[in-house]
Amino acid sequence: MSGFEGSFLGASDKISAQAIMECKICWTPYDPADGDDFRQVLPGTAFSDLPDDWGCPNCDAPKEQFMVLEDPGSDAIRTAAVIADKVHALVADFKEIYNSKMRDVPIINKGLHVEAVGFKPYNGQYLGVLISPWFMNLVLLPADDLDWSELKSGAKEDIGFPSGVYEFIHNVREMVGGYKACSLFSPMGDFSSQMQAKEVARELLVALFDAENIEETDRAADIRSTRETELASIRAAELAAQAKDDDAPKLDTAPTRRAVLTAGLAATPETTPETTAEQAES
Protein backbone atom coordinates (compact mmCIF):
# COMPACT_ATOMS: atom_id res chain seq x y z
CA MET A 1 0.00 0.00 0.00
CA SER A 2 1.33 3.43 -0.87
CA GLY A 3 0.49 6.79 0.64
CA PHE A 4 -0.65 7.65 4.16
CA GLU A 5 -3.42 6.04 6.19
CA GLY A 6 -3.29 8.46 9.07
CA SER A 7 -1.04 10.29 11.47
CA PHE A 8 0.52 8.68 14.53
CA LEU A 9 0.75 11.80 16.70
CA GLY A 10 1.54 9.74 19.78
CA ALA A 11 -1.64 7.61 19.62
CA SER A 12 0.11 4.24 19.88
CA ASP A 13 -3.18 2.49 20.64
CA LYS A 14 -4.33 3.30 17.10
CA ILE A 15 -1.68 1.20 15.37
CA SER A 16 -0.80 -2.47 15.56
CA ALA A 17 2.59 -4.07 16.22
CA GLN A 18 2.86 -4.67 12.45
CA ALA A 19 2.48 -1.01 11.47
CA ILE A 20 5.07 0.34 9.04
CA MET A 21 5.59 4.03 9.78
CA GLU A 22 7.09 6.79 7.64
CA CYS A 23 8.77 10.04 8.61
CA LYS A 24 6.73 12.90 7.20
CA ILE A 25 9.85 15.09 7.07
CA CYS A 26 12.21 12.96 4.97
CA TRP A 27 10.01 9.95 4.02
CA THR A 28 12.26 7.44 5.78
CA PRO A 29 10.22 4.33 6.75
CA TYR A 30 10.39 2.32 9.95
CA ASP A 31 9.52 -1.35 9.44
CA PRO A 32 9.27 -3.39 12.66
CA ALA A 33 10.40 -6.47 10.75
CA ASP A 34 13.76 -4.78 10.12
CA GLY A 35 14.23 -2.73 13.29
CA ASP A 36 16.82 0.07 13.24
CA ASP A 37 20.49 -0.84 12.92
CA PHE A 38 21.54 2.80 13.45
CA ARG A 39 19.92 2.93 16.92
CA GLN A 40 20.52 -0.78 17.64
CA VAL A 41 16.80 -1.57 17.67
CA LEU A 42 16.27 -5.29 17.15
CA PRO A 43 14.07 -6.65 14.34
CA GLY A 44 10.57 -7.39 15.58
CA THR A 45 10.33 -4.20 17.68
CA ALA A 46 6.98 -2.51 17.17
CA PHE A 47 6.97 1.24 16.53
CA SER A 48 5.00 1.80 19.76
CA ASP A 49 7.75 -0.03 21.69
CA LEU A 50 10.57 2.21 20.49
CA PRO A 51 12.26 4.30 23.23
CA ASP A 52 10.74 7.73 23.84
CA ASP A 53 13.93 9.39 22.70
CA TRP A 54 14.07 7.44 19.42
CA GLY A 55 14.11 9.58 16.30
CA CYS A 56 14.27 9.18 12.55
CA PRO A 57 17.63 7.59 11.66
CA ASN A 58 17.91 9.93 8.66
CA CYS A 59 16.76 13.37 9.90
CA ASP A 60 16.32 12.77 13.64
CA ALA A 61 12.65 13.81 13.59
CA PRO A 62 10.83 12.61 16.74
CA LYS A 63 8.39 9.69 16.78
CA GLU A 64 5.45 12.10 16.77
CA GLN A 65 6.40 13.15 13.23
CA PHE A 66 5.82 9.66 11.82
CA MET A 67 2.68 8.64 9.96
CA VAL A 68 1.15 5.28 9.10
CA LEU A 69 2.39 4.00 5.76
CA GLU A 70 0.90 0.51 6.05
CA ASP A 71 -0.67 -1.42 8.92
CA PRO A 72 -1.61 -5.06 8.21
CA GLY A 73 -2.93 -5.42 11.78
CA SER A 74 -5.18 -2.36 11.84
CA ASP A 75 -8.37 -4.32 11.06
CA ALA A 76 -7.71 -6.57 14.04
CA ILE A 77 -7.35 -3.54 16.31
CA ARG A 78 -10.59 -2.03 15.08
CA THR A 79 -12.40 -5.35 15.53
CA ALA A 80 -11.02 -5.73 19.05
CA ALA A 81 -12.29 -2.25 19.93
CA VAL A 82 -15.77 -3.06 18.60
CA ILE A 83 -15.87 -6.32 20.55
CA ALA A 84 -14.73 -4.54 23.71
CA ASP A 85 -17.56 -2.01 23.42
CA LYS A 86 -20.22 -4.67 22.84
CA VAL A 87 -18.94 -6.89 25.64
CA HIS A 88 -18.86 -3.92 28.03
CA ALA A 89 -22.55 -3.27 27.29
CA LEU A 90 -23.40 -6.96 27.75
CA VAL A 91 -21.68 -7.13 31.13
CA ALA A 92 -23.23 -3.85 32.25
CA ASP A 93 -26.70 -5.11 31.36
CA PHE A 94 -26.35 -8.25 33.44
CA LYS A 95 -24.71 -6.49 36.36
CA GLU A 96 -27.81 -4.31 36.45
CA ILE A 97 -30.03 -7.42 36.39
CA TYR A 98 -28.07 -8.95 39.25
CA ASN A 99 -28.14 -5.84 41.44
CA SER A 100 -31.78 -4.97 40.82
CA LYS A 101 -33.48 -8.36 40.50
CA MET A 102 -31.37 -11.44 41.22
CA ARG A 103 -29.00 -10.84 44.14
CA ASP A 104 -31.41 -12.27 46.77
CA VAL A 105 -32.68 -15.23 44.75
CA PRO A 106 -31.69 -18.46 46.58
CA ILE A 107 -29.89 -20.08 43.63
CA ILE A 108 -27.32 -17.24 43.39
CA ASN A 109 -23.69 -18.26 43.88
CA LYS A 110 -22.26 -15.34 45.88
CA GLY A 111 -18.71 -16.37 44.99
CA LEU A 112 -19.21 -15.47 41.34
CA HIS A 113 -19.70 -12.22 39.44
CA VAL A 114 -20.73 -11.18 35.93
CA GLU A 115 -17.84 -11.49 33.47
CA ALA A 116 -17.40 -12.05 29.73
CA VAL A 117 -14.80 -14.59 28.58
CA GLY A 118 -13.10 -15.18 25.23
CA PHE A 119 -15.19 -13.11 22.83
CA LYS A 120 -13.85 -13.35 19.26
CA PRO A 121 -15.15 -12.94 15.69
CA TYR A 122 -17.11 -15.92 14.39
CA ASN A 123 -19.01 -16.05 11.08
CA GLY A 124 -19.56 -12.30 11.00
CA GLN A 125 -20.64 -12.28 14.66
CA TYR A 126 -18.85 -12.25 18.01
CA LEU A 127 -18.88 -15.41 20.10
CA GLY A 128 -17.91 -15.88 23.73
CA VAL A 129 -19.11 -17.00 27.16
CA LEU A 130 -20.96 -14.92 29.72
CA ILE A 131 -20.55 -15.95 33.38
CA SER A 132 -22.91 -14.76 36.10
CA PRO A 133 -23.74 -15.88 39.67
CA TRP A 134 -26.72 -17.83 38.31
CA PHE A 135 -25.78 -19.04 34.81
CA MET A 136 -23.06 -19.62 32.24
CA ASN A 137 -24.08 -19.12 28.59
CA LEU A 138 -22.61 -19.13 25.15
CA VAL A 139 -23.45 -15.71 23.68
CA LEU A 140 -23.48 -14.44 20.10
CA LEU A 141 -23.32 -10.68 19.55
CA PRO A 142 -23.93 -9.05 16.15
CA ALA A 143 -21.22 -7.38 14.11
CA ASP A 144 -21.82 -3.75 13.14
CA ASP A 145 -23.33 -4.71 9.79
CA LEU A 146 -26.03 -6.86 11.45
CA ASP A 147 -29.23 -5.47 12.94
CA TRP A 148 -30.60 -7.68 15.71
CA SER A 149 -32.79 -5.01 17.26
CA GLU A 150 -35.91 -6.76 15.96
CA LEU A 151 -35.15 -10.18 17.45
CA LYS A 152 -38.18 -11.67 19.17
CA SER A 153 -37.41 -12.46 22.81
CA GLY A 154 -37.84 -16.16 23.46
CA ALA A 155 -37.49 -17.26 19.83
CA LYS A 156 -35.30 -20.32 19.39
CA GLU A 157 -32.61 -20.92 16.79
CA ASP A 158 -30.48 -24.01 16.27
CA ILE A 159 -26.91 -23.05 15.33
CA GLY A 160 -24.33 -25.54 14.16
CA PHE A 161 -20.71 -25.78 15.31
CA PRO A 162 -18.10 -28.45 14.59
CA SER A 163 -19.05 -30.20 17.86
CA GLY A 164 -22.80 -30.25 17.14
CA VAL A 165 -26.00 -28.24 16.90
CA TYR A 166 -26.95 -26.00 19.83
CA GLU A 167 -30.17 -24.20 20.69
CA PHE A 168 -29.82 -20.44 21.12
CA ILE A 169 -32.49 -18.15 22.56
CA HIS A 170 -33.04 -14.66 21.14
CA ASN A 171 -33.42 -11.56 23.27
CA VAL A 172 -33.04 -7.77 23.18
CA ARG A 173 -31.98 -5.61 26.11
CA GLU A 174 -31.57 -1.88 26.53
CA MET A 175 -27.79 -1.62 26.71
CA VAL A 176 -26.47 -4.51 24.65
CA GLY A 177 -29.32 -4.65 22.13
CA GLY A 178 -30.08 -7.93 20.37
CA TYR A 179 -28.14 -11.09 21.14
CA LYS A 180 -28.45 -14.89 21.16
CA ALA A 181 -27.56 -17.21 24.04
CA CYS A 182 -27.21 -20.94 24.67
CA SER A 183 -27.38 -22.43 28.16
CA LEU A 184 -24.23 -24.13 29.45
CA PHE A 185 -24.74 -24.26 33.23
CA SER A 186 -27.49 -23.18 35.61
CA PRO A 187 -27.56 -22.85 38.51
CA MET A 188 -23.88 -22.27 39.29
CA GLY A 189 -23.62 -23.93 42.70
CA ASP A 190 -20.95 -26.41 41.59
CA PHE A 191 -18.41 -23.66 40.93
CA SER A 192 -16.17 -22.82 43.88
CA SER A 193 -14.56 -19.70 42.42
CA GLN A 194 -14.63 -17.23 39.54
CA MET A 195 -11.29 -18.57 38.35
CA GLN A 196 -12.71 -22.08 38.06
CA ALA A 197 -15.71 -20.81 36.10
CA LYS A 198 -13.43 -18.90 33.70
CA GLU A 199 -11.26 -21.98 33.13
CA VAL A 200 -14.32 -24.05 32.29
CA ALA A 201 -15.58 -21.31 29.96
CA ARG A 202 -12.30 -21.25 28.04
CA GLU A 203 -12.25 -25.05 27.78
CA LEU A 204 -15.81 -25.05 26.45
CA LEU A 205 -14.95 -22.52 23.76
CA VAL A 206 -12.17 -24.82 22.57
CA ALA A 207 -14.34 -27.94 22.75
CA LEU A 208 -17.08 -26.21 20.78
CA PHE A 209 -14.90 -26.29 17.67
CA ASP A 210 -13.62 -29.86 18.14
CA ALA A 211 -15.47 -32.19 15.77
CA GLU A 212 -14.51 -35.17 17.95
CA ASN A 213 -17.00 -33.90 20.54
CA ILE A 214 -19.98 -34.15 18.21
CA GLU A 215 -22.85 -36.08 19.73
CA GLU A 216 -25.01 -38.63 17.97
CA THR A 217 -28.11 -37.27 19.70
CA ASP A 218 -30.03 -34.11 18.89
CA ARG A 219 -28.42 -31.41 21.03
CA ALA A 220 -31.45 -29.12 20.85
CA ALA A 221 -33.74 -31.90 22.07
CA ASP A 222 -31.29 -32.69 24.88
CA ILE A 223 -31.36 -29.08 26.05
CA ARG A 224 -35.14 -28.99 26.14
CA SER A 225 -35.23 -32.26 28.07
CA THR A 226 -32.59 -31.05 30.53
CA ARG A 227 -34.59 -27.90 31.21
CA GLU A 228 -37.54 -29.94 32.40
CA THR A 229 -35.51 -32.13 34.75
CA GLU A 230 -33.49 -29.25 36.19
CA LEU A 231 -36.64 -27.24 36.85
CA ALA A 232 -37.67 -29.72 39.53
CA SER A 233 -34.28 -29.57 41.28
CA ILE A 234 -34.23 -25.76 41.20
CA ARG A 235 -37.70 -25.61 42.72
CA ALA A 236 -36.69 -28.10 45.43
CA ALA A 237 -33.62 -26.02 46.30
CA GLU A 238 -35.70 -22.88 46.54
CA LEU A 239 -38.25 -24.53 48.83
CA ALA A 240 -35.48 -25.89 51.07
CA ALA A 241 -33.92 -22.43 51.36
CA GLN A 242 -37.28 -20.87 52.18
CA ALA A 243 -37.93 -23.44 54.89
CA LYS A 244 -34.69 -22.43 56.64
CA ASP A 245 -35.32 -18.71 56.40
CA ASP A 246 -38.78 -17.27 56.89
CA ASP A 247 -37.59 -14.03 55.31
CA ALA A 248 -36.43 -15.72 52.12
CA PRO A 249 -38.17 -14.61 48.90
CA LYS A 250 -41.44 -16.48 48.31
CA LEU A 251 -42.13 -17.82 44.83
CA ASP A 252 -45.82 -17.85 43.96
CA THR A 253 -45.06 -19.94 40.88
CA ALA A 254 -41.98 -21.88 39.90
CA PRO A 255 -39.97 -19.89 37.34
CA THR A 256 -38.97 -21.70 34.20
CA ARG A 257 -35.33 -22.72 33.99
CA ARG A 258 -34.86 -20.22 31.19
CA ALA A 259 -36.25 -17.37 33.26
CA VAL A 260 -34.00 -18.12 36.23
CA LEU A 261 -31.09 -18.80 33.92
CA THR A 262 -30.90 -15.32 32.46
CA ALA A 263 -33.54 -13.19 34.11
CA GLY A 264 -35.31 -13.00 30.80
CA LEU A 265 -32.59 -13.96 28.34
CA ALA A 266 -34.81 -16.80 27.20
CA ALA A 267 -38.14 -15.28 28.16
CA THR A 268 -41.18 -16.73 26.47
CA PRO A 269 -42.94 -14.44 24.00
CA GLU A 270 -45.63 -13.66 26.58
CA THR A 271 -43.10 -12.31 29.12
CA THR A 272 -40.28 -9.79 29.16
CA PRO A 273 -36.83 -9.98 30.78
CA GLU A 274 -38.03 -7.61 33.48
CA THR A 275 -41.22 -9.48 34.36
CA THR A 276 -39.57 -12.89 34.57
CA ALA A 277 -36.84 -11.54 36.86
CA GLU A 278 -39.43 -9.82 39.05
CA GLN A 279 -41.30 -13.10 39.38
CA ALA A 280 -38.09 -14.77 40.50
CA GLU A 281 -37.57 -12.31 43.34
CA SER A 282 -41.21 -11.74 44.38
Assess if residue 96 is contained within a domain. yes
Indicate if 67 and 83 belong to the same structural domain: no
What CATH number should be reported for the domain holding residue 4? 2.20.28.10
Q: Examine the domain organization and report whether 44 and 176 are in the same domain.
A: no
Tell me: do 92 and 45 sit in the same domain: no
**Judgement on whether residues 126 and 39 belong to the same structural domain of the protein:** no
For the whole model, what pTM was predicted? 0.59
Mean pLDDT of 213-230: 54
Establish if 221 belongs to a structural domain: yes
Query: Apex CA 136: angle with CA 133 and CA 141, to 5°?
Result: 120
| Mean pLDDT, all residues of the chain | 78
Q: How confident is the model at residue 38, as a pLDDT?
A: 87
| Number of Cα atoms under 13 Å in the Cβ half of residue 239 | 10
Q: Which domain holds residue 174?
A: 77-225+247-281
Distances (CA, A) of 250 to 69, 104, 207, 238, 243: 64, 11, 39, 9, 10
Does residue 231 form part of some domain? no
Task: Please report the pLDDT score of residue 213 as a whole number.
Answer: 74
**How many domains, in total, are found in the chain?**
2
Q: What is the mean pLDDT of residues 201-221?
A: 74
CB proximity list for 191: less than 8 A, separation 6 or greater: 109, 111, 112, 185, 197, 200
Is the pLDDT at 267 greater than 90? The verdict is no
At 155, the pLDDT band (50, 70, 90 cuts) reads very high
Residues 277 and 145 in one domain: yes
**Domain boundary, last residue among 31, 50, 72:** 72
Q: For the ranges 8-22, 99-113, 120-134, which has the lowest average pLDDT?
A: 8-22
Shared-domain flag, residues 166 and 136: yes
Confidence label for 265 from pLDDT (cuts 50, 70 and 90) = very low
Res. 205: pLDDT tops 80? yes
Domain-ending residue, one of 50, 72, 94: 72
Report the pLDDT value the prediction gives residue 81, as an integer from 0 to 100: 83
CATH number at residue 111: 3.30.1460.40
